[in-house]
Every structure is written in C-alpha cells, then in structure tokens.
Amino acid sequence: MPDASTEATTSPYFRLEHEMLRDQLARFIDEEVKPYGDKWEEKGMVPRDVLKKMGANGFLGIHYPEEYGGSDLDAIATAVYAEELGKSTYGGFAITPLVHTDMSSVHILNAGNDEQKQRFLPEVVAGTKIGAIGLTEPRAGSDLKGIGTRAKKVDGGWIINGSKIFITNGIYGDFVCALVKTGDREEKPTRAATMFIVEKGFEGFSVAQKLHKQGWRCSDTAELVFEDCFVPDANVLGEVGRGFYAAMQNLQNERIVIGAMAMGEAQAAIDITLEWVKQRQAFGGVLWDKQTIRQRLAMQQAKVEAGRQLVYHAAWKVSQGIDAVKDVSMLKALCGELVNEVLYDCVQFHGGSGYIEETPINRMFRDVRVQSIGGGATEVMLEEVAKRM
C-alpha cells in the first residue's frame, strides 16, 4: 500500500495515500470483478481466489497493523475502500470483503488477545481465512439485547445452543464472531453477552440453510445453528459479559462502511444512467434533452455528493478520536434511504430496459433495498439521532 503524504488531493479529508488506494481499487475491480460478476451472481458466491487476490494487493488489511501484514491506515481509507467496492455495481461482491474486514475480523483486532491476533489476523489480511459476524437471530435484529443463543460454562470452554440468521459469509467463511448470552442477569442484559470465535469444523456448529435473497445474490448468506457446540476458552473474544459493548462499539465502523458503500452504488448508478439518457432516442431527441430528466439527475447528484461528504466527515471524526455516534447514525439513515431513491429514478429513466434482470441497473435496484435495513434499520438510526438532539 502507498506511503502517507500531505500532497494536494481532491478533498481536504484525503491524503495522497487515499487517492492512490481509490485508483488501485478501481483498477482491480475493472480487471478482476466486473468481467466475472454475472457468473458469481449465478453461482451465489464470490470465489475465494478473488479474496486472496485482494489480500495479495493489500486491500484486506487497510486498517490492520503492519505487524499482521496490514497498512495501518485510518477510517477515511476504510470509507474510500467501501465506496469503491460499492461502485463495482455488484453489491453481493462488495459486502463479502466488507463483512470480512470491517464487521467480523475487526472484533479480533479490537478485543482479541495476542494469541488470537497472531492466530487469525495474518490470514485475515491475506484472505486465506474469511470471517463472518453472528449477531442477528430469528427473533433479534436491530435489538441485540433480545438475542436468545446461549452458552453454558463447562470445563475448558463453553457449550453453545441457538441459531443466527442472515449471516453473510456464513457458508464459505472459516469462522464467525458470534454474540451469545452467557449470563442470566436479565436486569442488565447488556452485561449478559459474550463474543466467541466459532470456527468451521467445531462439533455442533453447522449451516442450516443457504438463504436466497432479493439482491446481493453473489454473497453467501446463511442460517447458522449451534447444537451443543463446544467452544474452547481460547476462543472467548474479549471479556466474558462484555460482548454487547464490543458489538455496539464496532457498529459505528460498520455503519460508516455501509454508508460509503451505498454512496458508491448511488454514484455508479447515476453514471450508468447518465450514459444511457445521453444516447437513448425518444420524441425526436435524446432523453438528456428533457429538462425534467436533467434536473432530477442533477438533484440526485447533489444529494449523493452531500451524503459522501457526511460519510467522509464522520470517518474523519473517528480518525481524530472524536465522538461520532450522532454523525454515523445520521449517515446510515440518510445514505440507506438515498441510494434507494437514486436507484428508483435510475430504473425509471431506463424505462423497460431497467426492468430486465440482465441489466446492471436492475441488479443494483435489487441490491440496494437492503441498505436501509442491514446494519441498523433507518428507524433505529433516527432514534439514535433523536436521542442526541
């Protein structure tokens, strides 16, 4: 990865290393993703070789320390990374490495002991071990205090019973960082959960089913089941009883990358639609000649630029150690709704072509619907903002 620099860039938030990262990712996506994305959609998975190539190019270790093979860059670099993945136009591809780097393995970086970091992080950065995050359950989504999967302490470890659902990388991943109840102190449910590293091959840990989704079709999404699954003490992640706090801490990072990804998708959709309306003939001219279409696209471009700047500002605050909970909640709500609004217009301007599954704009329309749900529903995010108003 590039060295730090203070040379002039396109934004006051960026250094030269951020611009170089953007360029390198864009080239990688053009060469290694876009030509093959349709096949991945049909197969319902992103090949592991692609993730290993991302690791070899330094893309899976952007904010990980150099001692584990990473580049030790900041939250702004992470936002650039997520935005460029969103521009690939394949949401299922984009979310696959993002879950691995910024929603799952990051828990090992933040809360793992030295042995766990040495055991997992070099392979995480190299793309030879892929992680998933196990928070959501059939009866607990945005409200993590409602999880029911439970662990009981036994000699040398813990026995886990329960299930997790909507788990990206759950089928082809190598481990899942799972939030599990470990106590009965219901008066303080936030103190009754612990994070565990559950590895593929552990007895009693299985994939119940592969879930078929409206969008993100090339990402593997699973329901995971724990049936008397033994997890050794060596795989307890962080302090017992502090798992809820660990999950909430990283949700800020998770929401920044989801917002950045959404703005990358929105920008790509505008670019594709702009090219379409400038060549599509209708009523004696091209669609771009119609004032309504020009102005609606211009307004959407303005909104997307505003959303991007909010993402960058929140990432900058995080990189400076400034509390950004309000900013992150705002951007998650705004960007998740905005990308859906943008794709609605883009499909409309494509006319019948936008309704055909084989077109990129139709695929993106399906993919972005989850952006206002995953990582914290819009309504939950707005409540977080309201608390701080």
- Which sequence positions are flagged as catalytic? 254
The amino acid at 81: Y
The amino acid at 369: R
Contact 361, 269 (CB under 8 A): yes
308 CB-near residues (< 8 Å, 6+ apart): 83, 260, 263, 267
Residue of 79, 75, 84, 95 whose CA lies nearest to 25: 84
What residues does 206 pair with on adjacent strands?
A: 225
Q: Which residue reads 């936008």 in tokens?
A: 354
DSSP letters along 239-250, please? STT-HHHHHHHH
How many Cβ atoms sit within 10 Å of the Cβ of residue 90? Answer: 29
How far CA 217 is from CA of 30, 336, 367, in Å, comes to 20, 19, 8
Q: Give the SS3 label for residue 105.
A: coil
Residue of 122, 162, 116, 108 whose CA lies nearest to 139: 162
CA 23, CA 381: separation in Å to the nearest integer?
Answer: 32
Helices 291-319 and 75-86 pack at an angle, to 10 degrees, of: 150
CA 69, CA 90: separation in Å to the nearest integer?
Answer: 27
DSSP letters along 16-53, please? HHHHHHHHHHHHHHHHHTTTTHHHHHHHTS--HHHHHH
Helical spans, DSSP H, in 290-356: 291-319, 325-350
Contact 249, 110 (CB under 8 A): yes
- End-to-end CA distance of the chain: give it in Å, rounded: 40
Contact 68, 7 (CB under 8 A): no
CA 71, CA 61: separation in Å to the nearest integer?
Answer: 6
